[in-house]
Chains A and B, each alone.
Chain A
């Protein structure tokens, strides 16, 4: 796989190394029980090609039950259920699994993301790793592949993305994968989570944004892969941090709480967080909305010019949410001199936001991207700005679909957290924060996760994503991800077209 394109500048994709769950028992779709009939003959241990069992003193141990194919395995010649000499093995759905996740991130999506983060491979099980259960948008969109598509070669397909398309003389910055990692501030997540993401971005030769919470010194070795964020609270922003990086991001709004400011609850403002943000420990921090220095597109240009003057080599990204006039916002940003416009849809992640905002305010990203793509194309500007989509991109398939709808690439956050074994209990904001040690600043909870492990999990997941992107492109007969941009003709929406009407193969 390493021989593929994306090796520009001598870059080689990092290695996949297995990174098992941090917890004793993986969360499994199926429950495997070995009954008292078992005489510990060990037949199942050698029989299972997915190495679900290991040797035990009285009975085989189910160490990797999450690799089990479930009751449907019975039809296979290697089924332990049918071939156990003592018929001691039963496999049935795990009741706890049913409780995991939600409509957007179903239990299957969570478990398949964990699978990719552990192994770097696409799940071999019956987990649906392509779509969730939200009943619309990405979950109803499907690629339509030409028949006999599987003969197309996967070698040499490029997934790289150029971020500076303005031709303004500033550096050209290409990333080997069509995505970078979005802002999650120190404070909203632990320093281990933050560093894991930044180190993974470095290993994948892409970027990771600091979010609005300052630029911890621990990030300095990775400066070339950091995007620093300037948001309305200006927490921890200084000329020095702006000069350190290759990309600076203005956050005007955030999809999960559009029109409202960021909010870090008091409990999470520990002394180190307060120091970084130049604030008082224990008191809640609000980022105001909007930038009170920006009341027009002209003011916005002044903002962009300011960053460009402070750091003459930096690219400027503008992160906005998705109001009805998102196309006007995008064109305004272009004329203000932005290199990248990031459209953040309403269903994306966040540390804390009112439920009413997450569900109702602004439009889902699936609607916003084609609107902006079409408008900028009609204005003749589309080839001079990079459109990055975010806010609800969960999978490689979501990423490919939004690119086909008109984005150049995507920005990710929640998927990284899921790779780190986020379970989406939705309690990131409360008290000591995340019980699983991801979105917390509590010292004890932060200690639940190691840096090497965290980095590897994220790297593994994205290497599995890359395989999927390459597979999609090859099936569509394309040679690079840039060919896919705006190709709505390769998509269909299953609510409006029956499978019989489709001329080709669906996902």
Chain B
């Protein structure tokens, strides 16, 4: 299989034992010392393989137990119980739930996608990305080949300004401008981190991962250090100060920069293009009620890439806050109605926590997404956010081995890539570029639910 269609993955054990959902509570008092103890009958042999990790004081029993409850149900003295682990339920927050965190850990450790039996066990629907479903193909609109078919499914995207139609001069030569493009094999870019412990090692790990994956990482220009030099092709330089501070060598070698939106954004964009026409320039725009008009304005003014940002829970700032997927739909459709959607590349991010969020945000109109917190979680972050208050990181993210971190991030992305293939395969779409804006191939809670809202109210 050609490299661009596949991400290598393999087991990368964590440095710490994961925090598990539940624990085994086994009493010794009252034990009858049965000749054939139920603990010896464990299908998974968790009692036989039991060990204590003294550095963390964690019992291997809790992470190995698969919750079959056979010992609980068979112990004659009823001495074995299971209990919820309060450390698990305390992880993260309402958006970055313990289940999402452990789902990311699993992928980062194994490189595999989460597979399970016995159907779906979650909520009917929920906030944000959980209020939409993706489509599939069947009989009247069949896919040519499923996921295990003979054709490859392409997940690459081009970032940059697109030519809407070719123009020719009197001599028949092409007179249209040729815009620079950055091609990414996966529609994911690693964004600035909202918080982290001192980030040098974390950045090197992320850059290394980006190099292997063929994607890019946003690095604030103010925090640029020569250590990142080997990874310039993987760097999207975020111009958080003026152009002036930029070293000449860096300005010449970098191929993608991003500038914050502001009154002078278009002039700054022009200044960069003048310095180096082969550079791709993105403008970072905060999502909000005015974003739609602003993106159209920028697009008409020739902007190549717009990077739309929502908060870390996918919600924009200010009053009347809208979730990222809903604002994305509005912005995309506004550009479509104005006839310029294809000219500009839109990258969107904020609250992208799972592979399905990537697929759904693309369906709502993004060309590619950005991912931030999941890269930290891949390296065992527990989203305790103590670092944002200057307290030391419980899993020492500041001193990770970049090679290890990169392998964990690559595993996570291998999982996301494979899950994106599942969604595309089910829809019968062979290119992620064709997924963009395919809202007719998605189902939204607010539309489907109309029927139920009317129930019982007629007469």
The reply on B119 being an interface residue by CB < 8 A is yes
Identify which of residues 92-112 in chain A touch chain B, using a CB-to-CB cut-off of 8 Å: 94-96, 98-105
- Verify B75–A25 contact, CB threshold 8 A: yes
The reply on B114 being an interface residue by CB < 8 A is yes
The reply on A309 being an interface residue by CB < 8 A is no
| Chain B residues within 8 Å of A354, by CB | 113-115, 419, 422
Residue of A nearest to B74 (CB): A24
Residue of B nearest to A295 (CB): B142
- Verify B68–A259 contact, CB threshold 8 A: no
- Verify B455–A488 contact, CB threshold 8 A: yes
CA distance A140 to B453 in the complex (A): 11
State which of A95, A259, A425, A495 has its C-beta within 8 Å of the C-beta of B81. Answer: A95
State which of A289, A359, A427 has its C-beta within 8 Å of the C-beta of B122. Answer: A359
Contact indicator per residue, chain B 121-136, by CB within 8 Å of chain A (1) or not (0): 1111110000001111
- Kindly state the interface size class of chain A when it binds its partner: 35 or more
- Verify B113–A356 contact, CB threshold 8 A: yes
Shortest beta-carbon distance, B435 to chain A, in Å?
A: 13
The reply on B52 being an interface residue by CB < 8 A is no
| Chain A residues within 8 Å of B69, by CB | 27, 96, 100, 423, 425
The reply on A453 being an interface residue by CB < 8 A is no
| Chain B residues within 8 Å of A326, by CB | 138
Residue of B nearest to A427 (CB): B66
Contact flag A321-B148 (CB < 8 Å), given A356-B422, A424-B118: no
Most buried by A among B119, B126, B452: B119
- Verify A356–B355 contact, CB threshold 8 A: yes
Shortest beta-carbon distance, B88 to chain A, in Å?
A: 11
| Chain A residues within 8 Å of B119, by CB | 104, 256, 347-350, 358, 392, 414
CA distance A265 to B81 in the complex (A): 31
| Chain B residues within 8 Å of A449, by CB | none
Contact indicator per residue, chain A 347-367, by CB within 8 Å of chain B (1) or not (0): 111111111111111111011
| Chain A residues within 8 Å of B74, by CB | 23-25
- Verify A496–B453 contact, CB threshold 8 A: yes
| Chain A residues within 8 Å of B68, by CB | 423, 425, 427, 435-436
User: Which of the segments B90-98, B193-201, B423-431 contacts the partner chain?
Assistant: B423-431
State which of B44, B123, B125 has its C-beta within 8 Å of the C-beta of A435. Answer: B44
State which of A332, A357, A426 has its C-beta within 8 Å of the C-beta of B121. Answer: A426
CA distance A112 to B72 in the complex (A): 19
Residue of A nearest to B120 (CB): A358
State which of B84, B118, B137, B448 has its C-beta within 8 Å of the C-beta of A290. Answer: B137
Identify which of residues 331-347 in chain B touch chain A, using a CB-to-CB cut-off of 8 Å: none
- Verify B456–A103 contact, CB threshold 8 A: no
Residue of B nearest to A300 (CB): B139
Contact flag A104-B426 (CB < 8 Å), given A323-B138, A362-B135, A445-B43: no
Shortest beta-carbon distance, B69 to chain A, in Å?
A: 6
Contact indicator per residue, chain B 433-457, by CB within 8 Å of chain A (1) or not (0): 0000000111100001001110111
| Chain A residues within 8 Å of B423, by CB | 356, 360-361
Identify which of residues 324-352 in chain A touch chain B, using a CB-to-CB cut-off of 8 Å: 324-326, 328-329, 332-333, 346-352
CA distance A201 to B400 in the complex (A): 58
CA distance A502 to B456 in the complex (A): 8
- Verify B143–A426 contact, CB threshold 8 A: no
CA distance A296 to B441 in the complex (A): 19
- Kindly state the interface size class of chain B when it binds its partner: 35 or more
State which of A141, A258, A353, A370 has its C-beta within 8 Å of the C-beta of B115. Answer: A353
Contact flag A290-B113 (CB < 8 Å), given A23-B70, A320-B138, A493-B452: no
The reply on A14 being an interface residue by CB < 8 A is no
The reply on B73 being an interface residue by CB < 8 A is yes
Shortest beta-carbon distance, A275 to chain B, in Å?
A: 23
Contact flag A432-B82 (CB < 8 Å), given A256-B120, A324-B135, A348-B119: no
CA distance A350 to B120 in the complex (A): 9
CA distance A289 to B76 in the complex (A): 48
- Verify A139–B124 contact, CB threshold 8 A: yes
CA distance A349 to B443 in the complex (A): 21
CA distance A426 to B143 in the complex (A): 29
State which of A288, A351, A356, A363 has its C-beta within 8 Å of the C-beta of B419. Answer: A356
User: Which of the segments A130-138, A463-471, A473-481 contacts the partner chain?
Assistant: A130-138
Contact indicator per residue, chain A 8-33, by CB within 8 Å of chain B (1) or not (0): 00000000000001011111000000
- Verify A134–B122 contact, CB threshold 8 A: yes
| Chain B residues within 8 Å of A370, by CB | 451
CA distance A356 to B456 in the complex (A): 34
The reply on A213 being an interface residue by CB < 8 A is no
State which of A288, A361, A426 has its C-beta within 8 Å of the C-beta of B134. Answer: A361
- Verify B116–A286 contact, CB threshold 8 A: no
- Verify B425–A24 contact, CB threshold 8 A: no
| Chain A residues within 8 Å of B118, by CB | 349-350, 414, 417, 422, 424-426, 428, 439
| Chain A residues within 8 Å of B73, by CB | 21, 23-27
Identify which of residues 376-420 in chain B touch chain A, using a CB-to-CB cut-off of 8 Å: 419
| Chain B residues within 8 Å of A26, by CB | 73
| Chain B residues within 8 Å of A355, by CB | 103, 113-116, 120
| Chain B residues within 8 Å of A364, by CB | 124, 133
Shortest beta-carbon distance, B327 to chain A, in Å?
A: 20
The reply on A491 being an interface residue by CB < 8 A is yes
Residue of B nearest to A496 (CB): B453
State which of A289, A346, A392 has its C-beta within 8 Å of the C-beta of B146. Answer: A289
Identify which of residues 485-502 in chain A touch chain B, using a CB-to-CB cut-off of 8 Å: 488-489, 491-493, 495-497, 502
Contact flag A259-B72 (CB < 8 Å), given A295-B142, A439-B117, A493-B453: no
| Chain B residues within 8 Å of A98, by CB | 83-84
| Chain B residues within 8 Å of A427, by CB | 66-68, 116-117
The reply on A281 being an interface residue by CB < 8 A is no
| Chain A residues within 8 Å of B3, by CB | none
| Chain A residues within 8 Å of B140, by CB | 296-297, 325, 328-329, 332
Shortest beta-carbon distance, A344 to chain B, in Å?
A: 11
Shortest beta-carbon distance, B130 to chain A, in Å?
A: 8
The reply on B141 being an interface residue by CB < 8 A is yes
Contact flag A96-B139 (CB < 8 Å), given A104-B119, A290-B146, A349-B118: no
| Chain B residues within 8 Å of A366, by CB | 452
Residue of B nearest to A364 (CB): B124
Return 16 A-B CB contacts under 8 Å, by A number: A23-B70, A24-B74, A25-B72, A134-B124, A297-B140, A323-B141, A347-B120, A355-B120, A358-B119, A367-B448, A370-B451, A425-B69, A428-B118, A429-B115, A435-B66, A489-B459
8 residue pairs, one from A and one from B, having the closest CB atoms = A259-B426, A136-B124, A428-B117, A102-B121, A492-B456, A289-B146, A259-B136, A435-B68
B interface list, Cβ under 8 A from A: 22, 25, 43-44, 66-70, 72-76, 78, 81-84, 103, 113-126, 133-144, 146-149, 354-356, 359-360, 419, 422-423, 425-428, 440-443, 448, 451-453, 455-459
Q: A352-B115, A356-B422 are in contact. List 19 more A-B contacts (CB 8 A).
A: A21-B73, A23-B70, A27-B73, A104-B120, A144-B456, A260-B147, A290-B137, A347-B120, A355-B115, A356-B113, A362-B133, A414-B118, A425-B69, A429-B117, A435-B68, A436-B70, A493-B455, A496-B455, A497-B455
A interface list, Cβ under 8 A from B: 21, 23-27, 94-96, 98-105, 134-137, 139-141, 144, 252-253, 256, 258-261, 286, 288-290, 294-297, 300, 320-321, 323-326, 328-329, 332-333, 346-364, 366-367, 370, 392, 414, 417, 422-429, 432, 435-436, 439, 445, 488-489, 491-493, 495-497, 502
